[in-house]
A and B are shown apart, each in its own frame.
Chain A
Amino acid sequence: MPALRTLSGSLNQLATTTVGVWWRCLPRLLAIAVLGWAGYRVFTYLAAMAVDVSAWLSLFVLALGFVVNLSAIIIGLRTAGEELQIRQTVPLAEDDPRDNSISHLLSITLLPFLGIYAVFDVVTDAANQIQVNYWVLNGLTFERQVLSQLNPQAEGNSLWAIVGLIIGLYVARRLIELWFERTGLRPLGLLSALVEGCFMLIVVMSGRQLVVSIGKWVDDRAFRVWLDYPGWGLQHVFGLIGVDVGAWLDQVGALWWDSVWPGISAMVVEPMLWLALAALVFGNRVISAADLWRQGRPVTLKSRRAEVNVGERQRRLALEVQEAFFGDLNDKYLPTWQSLRLVLGVGASFFAAFVICYGVLVTGEDWLTRGMYWVLGGHPAAFWSMAGPFIDLISTAVGEPLRWALLATAFHTCLALFASRGGQPVPDEPDAVAAAAGAAPASEVTER
């Protein structure tokens, strides 16, 4: 069957190139992964220690941990990308204004990165980890809820103070970003990323509580019962023919939420979001690689404040206001969305091969961790507070370099497939990529 042959070709190419890149970059990738892991761990412990001073300080330290983690991911992706010569593959103009510094990449990728982490509950897990580390450091106590200062509903906290803080951080971040754009001072890029990290963490942690409290408020209202009437009516109608539609829907709901959706989320949505983030790292400001290959030149967003050269004063003011309020949309969300469109538009065989490779990788990583736990056997919590980080280190050292190599290879393959479709010369770096373009027919690259 040709479809299966194409899939097997894509799979073979993706797996062999990934392993090749991983092997050639292993020492560097390993060092980056270990340093990133160590930095993140140190900051999560420091965050637990800072809790006694202030939950806000703890949050700031945790944001530092996320910045270190993302820095490691960006450097790891770029290292793997250099091996594949991805930058050379993207045909940019000689005077391309892109700033490729880590601080700039951090400032544009941190928000989508934390967004992805928030979607997969990694931010909540990090907050829980602070609680566990606090117990490890100070002994088990239920008298004090760590990070309760961040809960707008907690006693003594003001909802409006937290809302004001969120708005204040947003404004501060935008101002620092503008300053960074004007001066190009790299420490400002890092500061902007840090403020952005704090902003996102507060939004996730406090916002979550707000959503819960809104839900509770709705549940306490009389009109909430009205929403149940259609369901009861349906149950009554089906009850007349002897069908317990409520039980049936419960079963379907349980199957969806307990088995199907977590699987789709972890095995399909997550890899595509990571690939979109990788695309952002390799090709920021590129609207669409399809456009890029079709026109033979990079298409960049042109609405940045620094590039506004309009004589009319009011128009300039309007554009500045637009930039202040919608700058995030242009700088971060739009490129992320376009990255996602790009990787989804490459074609079915590539998509399937990437999902399989990613799925096998995360499952292997999961089973490696399970295997280590199984070998060590059951122990008290004090033991795991010591052994757990080392197990995590081994798992990270094995899994992260492979993930970066896979993401770089997958993005490079995307470009190769678009190049073959646009009639451009296929990037000449690894032979396997040329094979990939052959394995997945250009016709399957969807029109955009």
Chain B
Amino acid sequence: MTARLRRWLVAIVACAAMVGLHAYSGEFPNEHVSRASVGTPAALYDATVTVNSYAIGQVLYNDTLFQGRSGVIYLAVNITIANPRGERSVNWQVGGEANGRTFAANDLLDMPQPGFRITQDVVFELDPADLAGFTVSFLHRATIYAYDPKIVVDLGITAERADELLAADRYATVTTVKATPEVIR
């Protein structure tokens, strides 16, 4: 290999490294992520959100309707959103993430009026393999561009815990809680 060729090879590697650095940096994020755990309230502007518990099963009982699909499980995450004084926001978005994939919740969130809190279930339909490491996110998305706050709650489901849950409840029926408003005293 000639010296000139070697120098161009080094130049190509340098360019590739810079392209890699650019890919690693990724797009400029427009969300400020705060992490929280199950049972801990996390603030999103004037409201707080708490993930209380979760349950899995292959059959979902939602109000008066049974749903079931083979090959998937339903993950129902029980949450409480409290809004002591702020305006009722319609900009909340809830989603899930596991194994680099994102999941949309089956239904929209019910947001409380000022002075109320609402406890409800958020349901995700997912592959059993995606149960381990599942996180739930709450995002306040502004109508126009902003650096929005986002809360990511790790459900704390390790691979071992996922195996235990699937062994115990894979074929269970998950009954969701209807959104219930309560006055904040």
- In the complex the two chains form, is B14's CB within 8 Å of A356's CB? yes
- In the complex the two chains form, is A349's CB within 8 Å of B10's CB? yes
Segment among B21-29, B52-60, B61-69, B154-162 that sits at the interface with chain A: B21-29
B148 to chain A, nearest CB (A): 5
Please name all residues of chain B whose beta carbon is closer than 8 Å to the beta carbon of A359 when the two chains form the complex.
18, 21-22
A interface secondary structure, majority? helix
A362 to chain B, nearest CB (A): 9
Please name all residues of chain A whose beta carbon is closer than 8 Å to the beta carbon of B39 when the two chains form the complex.
none
Please name all residues of chain A whose beta carbon is closer than 8 Å to the beta carbon of B146 when the two chains form the complex.
378-381, 383-384
B134 to chain A, nearest CB (A): 23
Please name all residues of chain B whose beta carbon is closer than 8 Å to the beta carbon of A373 when the two chains form the complex.
29, 32, 147
Nearest chain B residue, comparing its CB with the CB of A131: B144
A2-B6, A373-B32, A378-B31 are known contacts. Are A263 and B144 too (CB-CB below 8 A)?
no
Nearest chain B residue, comparing its CB with the CB of A258: B23
Please name all residues of chain B whose beta carbon is closer than 8 Å to the beta carbon of A352 when the two chains form the complex.
10-11, 14-15
Please name all residues of chain B whose beta carbon is closer than 8 Å to the beta carbon of A23 when the two chains form the complex.
none
- In the complex the two chains form, is B149's CB within 8 Å of A260's CB? no
- In the complex the two chains form, is A444's CB within 8 Å of B7's CB? yes
Interface residues on A, range: 35 or more
Q: Is A3 an interface residue (CB 8 A)?
A: yes
Complex Cα–Cα for A385 and B20 (A): 32
- In the complex the two chains form, is B23's CB within 8 Å of A135's CB? no
A11 to chain B, nearest CB (A): 9
Q: Mark B12-44, 1 if CB is under 8 A from A, else 0.
A: 001101111111010011011010000000000
A373-B32, A374-B32 are known contacts. Are A266 and B22 too (CB-CB below 8 A)?
yes
Please name all residues of chain A whose beta carbon is closer than 8 Å to the beta carbon of B4 when the two chains form the complex.
348, 443-444
Q: Is B142 an interface residue (CB 8 A)?
A: yes
Q: Mark A30-51, 1 if CB is under 8 A from B, else 0.
A: 0000000000000000000000
Nearest chain B residue, comparing its CB with the CB of A262: B22
Please name all residues of chain A whose beta carbon is closer than 8 Å to the beta carbon of B140 when the two chains form the complex.
378
Please name all residues of chain B whose beta carbon is closer than 8 Å to the beta carbon of A19 when the two chains form the complex.
none
Segment among A79-87, A227-235, A288-296, A363-371 that sits at the interface with chain B: A363-371
- In the complex the two chains form, is A349's CB within 8 Å of B18's CB? no
Q: Is A159 an interface residue (CB 8 A)?
A: no
* Contacting residue for A348 out of B11, B22, B45, CB 8 A: B11
- In the complex the two chains form, is B29's CB within 8 Å of A370's CB? yes
Please name all residues of chain B whose beta carbon is closer than 8 Å to the beta carbon of A263 when the two chains form the complex.
18-23
- In the complex the two chains form, is B15's CB within 8 Å of A355's CB? yes
- Residues of A253-291 at the interface with B, using a CB-CB cut-off of 8 Å, are 259-260, 262-264, 266-268
Q: Is B183 an interface residue (CB 8 A)?
A: no
Please name all residues of chain B whose beta carbon is closer than 8 Å to the beta carbon of A356 when the two chains form the complex.
14, 17-18
* Contacting residue for B9 out of A3, A268, A366, A381, CB 8 A: A3
Complex Cα–Cα for A263 and B3 (A): 27
Q: Is A4 an interface residue (CB 8 A)?
A: yes
- Residues of A338-373 at the interface with B, using a CB-CB cut-off of 8 Å, are 347-349, 351-353, 355-356, 359, 363, 366-367, 369-370, 373
Q: Is A132 an interface residue (CB 8 A)?
A: yes
A220 to chain B, nearest CB (A): 32
Complex Cα–Cα for A444 and B6 (A): 11
Nearest chain A residue, comparing its CB with the CB of B13: A352
Nearest chain A residue, comparing its CB with the CB of B23: A259
- In the complex the two chains form, is B22's CB within 8 Å of A378's CB? no
Q: Is A7 an interface residue (CB 8 A)?
A: yes
- In the complex the two chains form, is A381's CB within 8 Å of B22's CB? no
Please name all residues of chain B whose beta carbon is closer than 8 Å to the beta carbon of A383 when the two chains form the complex.
146
- In the complex the two chains form, is A260's CB within 8 Å of B7's CB? no
A264-B19, A356-B14 are known contacts. Are A366 and B25 too (CB-CB below 8 A)?
yes
Complex Cα–Cα for A376 and B148 (A): 11
- In the complex the two chains form, is A3's CB within 8 Å of B6's CB? yes
Please name all residues of chain B whose beta carbon is closer than 8 Å to the beta carbon of A140 when the two chains form the complex.
143-144
Complex Cα–Cα for A351 and B12 (A): 10
* Contacting residue for B15 out of A267, A349, A377, A381, CB 8 A: A267
Nearest chain A residue, comparing its CB with the CB of B4: A444
Complex Cα–Cα for A3 and B143 (A): 52
Nearest chain A residue, comparing its CB with the CB of B20: A263
Complex Cα–Cα for A352 and B31 (A): 34
A355-B14, A378-B32, A379-B147 are known contacts. Are A367 and B25 too (CB-CB below 8 A)?
yes
* Contacting residue for B149 out of A135, A363, A379, CB 8 A: A379
Nearest chain B residue, comparing its CB with the CB of A358: B18
12 contacts between A and B (CB under 8 A): A260-B19, A267-B19, A268-B15, A348-B4, A349-B11, A352-B10, A352-B11, A355-B15, A363-B25, A377-B32, A379-B149, A380-B146
By Cβ-Cβ distance, the 9 closest A-B pairs, closest first, are A378-B149, A263-B19, A378-B32, A352-B11, A359-B18, A263-B22, A267-B18, A352-B14, A381-B146
